């Protein structure tokens, strides 16, 4: 069923040691078995495996090829390699021995980079003292060492420095900085003084000759070093063109082989057979049996293990709903035997979002923005209108996948926002349509009075239907709370917790009793006389039945939580509150704009600025507030009625292949 995670079974595989590697390879390549420790009762009768020579050789080669990959500049890999057998893999990788050449080039690259850094530091020091055309050797000798002192705050006088370091020689520079020469023994004292005086200090390196001559020498050395560095990097790129593809392909093949050997070496076994256990989707058991049967040439046995252990969770949702699994995982992973609320979240969240936005202008902008976001993440451009710092910050904080998910989940919500906005005739707060779905007998039509176009003096006329919308949001709250309790009842019955199931029924009775009684209060119908009205006695009866059931099944905890059922139902009225806040703010901004246009050209300019920035501000609110509050209503008021969570992730034994393909068995 879609509303439940994938049903899991625990299986035990007993196979011949002669076909061990073939069986493990077939299980790995199939990729739907999560390995688990063998039952302790069985493990007592078996021996624990130890690492063999092949595992050690594969691990050594893997570390070597990881080093190669780190040192080689990346180039495009345009093909995949068929994974060789372990023996062939060792033979082929041992023939690729480029470590010494790579290390030599990388060492040379590091040395030149250090030289260039030193040259840049000396050039920077020259830039600071270039205004004094003295021989550079005077700044550092056996008596003194010199610094350039840069004031980070207010300008510091030479006397302030000499007051702290009396033996210092201070030379003011035209730029406002200072050259400070001090005896070497006072270096630590000068460092402390510089910190106290808010001075940024730069040590002047040991140099000699006139500044212009020394600069010319440094520039020549820099040019030669950069040329040498370019040659080294070209040599590295030549090596990459020859070896990078092979290196990453063999590295991936070695990783996969090492992982399989790691499992193989740790399996419990006897002289002739080995045993392994794991979780697998129940629908894949027969497929696994066929795969293992073929890999073992019939020398294997697979059986279902009866256990009370909690299975791992594997989502089982239609493809179009899988993007919303992120929000369920963010809250908590469902247990394997309870409802998976992904599909419910995927249906309800966009509805809540669309109602709370309630403006087809905002909905259209959000829709276009979401489509653009998904397209740009899937197909990035070298140059973008979005500032690079802003896009880098967003990618660093959220990451590509969450941003993609955010964009995809906003698409259905924005479409519903457009529909709701058309129903209320709201376009950035302006009622621009000549007709609207909500028309009242008093002549109010959507968000304006009278004929089209609307008069700008009227701010908000959807208030005529506010009581109906408030009641509607209350009905939504009652329906969602009831639905959650029904799901909780089914969960409890599935676990054979009759007391818990009865408690859910008690909460439903209590919620409906309070709701009916509240409606009667609104309509001034609170008579307990059945001859006057049946609804009030029924409501009172439901309330008492619910109270008795909840207290009987959940004791003191249930009694303490009774007020929460009222707050959870009423909490859904925030849907209307956020809708009204967004619409009213938009229409206030529009009213200021229209009044400015009417008054004078100067006020018209001010009104236009208020319109632009006000609508942008309201648009940001229209994205975040409905999203946050919509998710909160589902997480807190809905999930709490049936959802336990704290499930364990299903992690099958498999590897992601980018550069290799599975070996076809001959």
pLDDT digit string (tens) for 122-142? 998 888 887 777 888 888 888
pLDDT digit string (tens) for 589-635? 888 888 888 888 888 888 889 989 999 999 999 888 999 999 999 99
pLDDT digit string (tens) for 217-244? 999 999 999 999 999 999 999 999 999 9
CB under 8 Å to 213, separation ≥6 — which residues?
none
pLDDT digit string (tens) for 295-323? 999 888 999 998 888 999 999 999 889 99
Of 645, 651, 6, residue with least CA distance to 327: 645
CB of 593 closer than 8 Å to CB of 610 = yes
Mean pLDDT of 404-424: 90
CB under 8 Å to 426, separation ≥6 — which residues?
358, 359, 360, 361, 446, 447, 583, 586
Tell me if residue 225 falls in helix, strand or coil: helix
Tell me if residue 150 falls in helix, strand or coil: strand
Beta bridge partners of 10: 279, 305
The helix (run of H) or strand (run of E) holding residue 389 is: helix 388-397
CB of 86 closer than 8 Å to CB of 54 = yes
* Mean pLDDT, rounded, of the chain: 85
Please tell me the distance from the alpha carbon of residue 47 to that of residue 50, in angstroms, as a whole number. 9
Mean pLDDT of 189-197: 83
Q: Is the pLDDT of residue 457 over 50?
A: no
| Domains, the chain | 8-49+267-305 (3.30.70.120), 108-223 (no CATH), 319-458+574-641 (no CATH), 468-571 (no CATH)
256 band by pLDDT with thresholds 50, 70 and 90: very high
pLDDT digit string (tens) for 484-533? 999 999 988 888 889 989 999 999 999 999 888 888 777 666 655 565 56
CB of 365 closer than 8 Å to CB of 620 = no
Alpha carbon 392 to its chain centroid, in Å, reads: 14
Count CB-CB contacts under 10 A for residue 481. 24
Which burial class, exposed, middle or buried, applies to 560 when counting CB atoms under 10 A from its CB (0-12, 13-18, 19+)?
exposed
- Whole-model pTM: value is 0.75
Lowest mean pLDDT across 88-102, 198-212, 410-424, 461-475: 461-475
Tell me if residue 461 falls in helix, strand or coil: coil
Please tell me the distance from the alpha carbon of residue 170 to that of residue 159, in angstroms, as a whole number. 9
Mean pLDDT of 358-369: 92
CB under 8 Å to 23, separation ≥6 — which residues?
13, 15, 292, 295, 296, 300
pLDDT digit string (tens) for 278-301? 999 999 999 999 999 999 998 889
Give the per-residue pLDDT at 448.
40
CB of 512 closer than 8 Å to CB of 542 = yes
Please tell me the distance from the alpha carbon of residue 63 to that of residue 59, in angstroms, as a whole number. 6
What do you get for the CA distance between the two ends of the chain, in Å? 39
Give the per-residue pLDDT at 458.
39
Q: Is the pLDDT of residue 376 over 90?
A: no
**In sequence order, which ranges of 444-497 are alpha helices (DSSP H)?**
466-494
Please tell me the distance from the alpha carbon of residue 242 to that of residue 226, in angstroms, as a whole number. 24
The helix (run of H) or strand (run of E) holding residue 8 is: strand 8-16
Q: Is the pLDDT of residue 177 over 90?
A: no
Q: Is the pLDDT of residue 437 over 70?
A: no
Of 225, 248, 328, residue with least CA distance to 80: 248
Of 482, 487, 474, 488, residue with least CA distance to 519: 474
Give the per-residue pLDDT at 439.
43
Please tell me the distance from the alpha carbon of residue 228 to that of residue 105, in angstroms, as a whole number. 11
Locate tokens 């998976």: which residue? 340
Please tell me the distance from the alpha carbon of residue 554 to that of residue 559, in angstroms, as a whole number. 8
587 band by pLDDT with thresholds 50, 70 and 90: confident
Please tell me the distance from the alpha carbon of residue 170 to that of residue 163, in angstroms, as a whole number. 11
Of 552, 605, 628, residue with least CA distance to 357: 628
Mean pLDDT of 174-193: 84
Mean pLDDT of 646-658: 92
Give the per-residue pLDDT at 451.
41
Give the per-residue pLDDT at 476.
92
Please tell me the distance from the alpha carbon of residue 169 to that of residue 158, in angstroms, as a whole number. 9
Question: For the chain, percent helix, then strand, then coil, each to nearest 5?
Answer: 60, 10, 25
Count CB-CB contacts under 10 A for residue 27. 26
Q: Is the pLDDT of residue 577 over 50?
A: yes
Q: Which two tokens stand for residue 292?
A: 């293992």
Give the per-residue pLDDT at 440.
36
Please tell me the distance from the alpha carbon of residue 192 to that of residue 251, in angstroms, as a whole number. 52
Please tell me the distance from the alpha carbon of residue 202 to that of residue 149, in angstroms, as a whole number. 7
Q: What burial letters (b/e) apply to 42-67, b meaning 16+ CB within 10 Å?
A: eeeeeeebeeeebbebbbebbebbeb
CB of 268 closer than 8 Å to CB of 11 = no
The helix (run of H) or strand (run of E) holding residue 304 is: strand 300-305
């Amino acid at each position: 069923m879609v509303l439940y995670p994938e049903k899991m079974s625990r299986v035990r595989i007993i196979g011949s040691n002669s076909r061990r590697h073939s069986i493990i390879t077939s299980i790995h390549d199939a990729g739907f078995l999560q390995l688990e420790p063998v039952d302790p009762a069985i493990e007592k009768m078996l021996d624990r495996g130890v690492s063999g020579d092949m595992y050690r050789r594969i691990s050594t080669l893997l570390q070597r090829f990881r080093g190669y990959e780190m040192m080689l500049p990346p180039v495009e890999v345009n093909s995949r390699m068929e994974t060789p057998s372990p023996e062939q893999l060792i033979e082929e990788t041992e023939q690729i021995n480029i470590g010494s050449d790579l290390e030599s080039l990388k060492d040379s690259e590091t040395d030149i980079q250090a030289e260039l850094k030193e040259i840049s530091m000396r050039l920077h020091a020259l830039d600071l003292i270039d205004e004094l055309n003295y021989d550079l050797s005077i700044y550092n000798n056996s008596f003194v060492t010199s610094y350039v002192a840069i004031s980070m705050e207010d300008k510091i006088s030479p006397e302030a420095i000499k007051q702290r370091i009396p033996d210092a020689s201070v030379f003011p520079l035209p730029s406002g900085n200072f050259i400070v020469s001090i005896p070497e023994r006072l270096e630590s004292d000068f460092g402390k003084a510089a910190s106290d005086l808010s001075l940024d200090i730069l040590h002047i390196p040991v140099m000699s000759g006139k500044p212009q001559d020394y600069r010319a020498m440094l520039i020549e050395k820099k040019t030669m070093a950069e040329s040498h560095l370019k040659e080294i990097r070209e040599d590295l790129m030549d090596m990459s063109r020859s070896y990078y593809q092979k290196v990453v392909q063999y590295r991936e093949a070695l990783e996969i082989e090492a992982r399989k050997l790691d499992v193989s070496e740790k399996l419990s076994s006897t002289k002739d057979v080995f045993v392994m256990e794991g979780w697998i989707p129940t629908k894949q058991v027969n497929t696994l049996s066929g795969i293992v049967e073929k890999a073992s040439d019939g020398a294997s046995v697979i059986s279902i293990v009866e256990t009370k252990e909690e299975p791992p969770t594997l989502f089982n949702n239609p493809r179009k709903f899988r993007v919303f699994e992120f929000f369920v995982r963010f809250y908590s992973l469902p247990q394997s035997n309870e409802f998976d609320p992904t599909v419910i979240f995927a249906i309800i969240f966009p509805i809540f979002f669309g109602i709370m936005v309630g403006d087809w202008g905002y909905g259209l902008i959000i829709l276009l923005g979401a489509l653009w976001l998904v397209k740009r993440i899937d197909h990035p451009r070298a140059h973008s209108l979005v500032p690079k710092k802003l896009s880098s910050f967003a990618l660093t904080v959220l990451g590509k996948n969450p941003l993609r998910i955010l964009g995809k989940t906003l698409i259905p919500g924005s479409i519903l926002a457009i529909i709701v906005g058309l129903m209320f005739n709201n376009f950035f707060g302006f009622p621009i349509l000549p007709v609207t779905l909500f028309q009242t007998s008093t002549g109010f039509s959507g968000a304006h009075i009278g004929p089209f176009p609307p008069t700008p003096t009227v701010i908000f006329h959807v208030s005529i239907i506010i009581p109906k919308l408030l009641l509607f949001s209350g009905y939504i709250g009652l329906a969602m709370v009831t639905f959650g309790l029904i799901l909780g009842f089914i969960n409890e019955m599935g676990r054979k917790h009759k007391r818990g199931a009865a408690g859910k029924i008690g909460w439903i009775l209590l919620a409906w009793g309070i709701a009916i009684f509240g409606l009667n209060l609104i309509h001034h119908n609170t008579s307990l006389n059945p001859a006057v009205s049946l609804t009030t006695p029924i409501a009172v009866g439901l309330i008492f039945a619910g109270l008795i059931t909840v207290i009987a099944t959940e004791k003191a905890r249930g009694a303490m939580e009774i007020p929460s059922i009222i707050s959870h139902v009423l909490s859904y009225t925030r849907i209307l509150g956020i809708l009204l806040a967004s619409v009213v703010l938009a229409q206030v901004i529009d009213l200021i704009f229209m009044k400015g246009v009417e008054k004078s050209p100067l006020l018209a300019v001010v009104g236009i600025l208020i319109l632009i920035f006000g609508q942008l501000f309201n648009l940001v609110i229209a994205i975040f507030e409905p999203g946050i509050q919509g998710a909160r209503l589902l997480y807190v008021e809905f999930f709490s009625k049936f959802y336990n969570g704290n499930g364990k992730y299903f992690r099958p034994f498999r590897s992601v292949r980018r550069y290799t393909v599975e070996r076809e068995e001959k």
